[in-house]
Amino acid sequence: MSYDEYVKGRELLLNDPPFYALIQAAMRKADSGNTVKLRQAFPEIWVELNARYHASDGKLPGEEE
């Protein structure tokens, strides 16, 4: 990790995003090797992210329009 990446990580936390939002963002941004690691560590998050990616406006069946 570079110093710049460290500073950016610190800046991200200023907005106080939910933990799983950060995991989903990491999954979207990750290269192939890191995607595999994240999918293995958080399989349920990957399944939901994939479902929401393919759903209209990211809403799953039963969620309000």
Taking only the tens place, the pLDDT of each residue in 36-62 is: 999 999 999 999 999 999 998 999 998
Quick: pLDDT tens for 10-43: 999 999 999 999 999 999 999 999 999 999 999 9
> Tokens at residue 63, please?
């969620």
CA–CA dist 59, 28 (Å, integer): 17
Taking 90 as the threshold, does the pLDDT of residue 64 lie above it? no
The answer to whether position 41 is within a domain reads yes
Q: How many domains does the chain have?
A: 1
Alpha-helical (H) ranges within 1-65 are 3-14, 19-29, 32-41, 43-54
For 33, the domain range is 16-58
The answer to whether position 45 is within a domain reads yes
Taking 70 as the threshold, does the pLDDT of residue 65 lie above it? no
> Tokens at residue 14, please?
């200023």
Rounded to two decimals, what is the model's pTM? 0.82
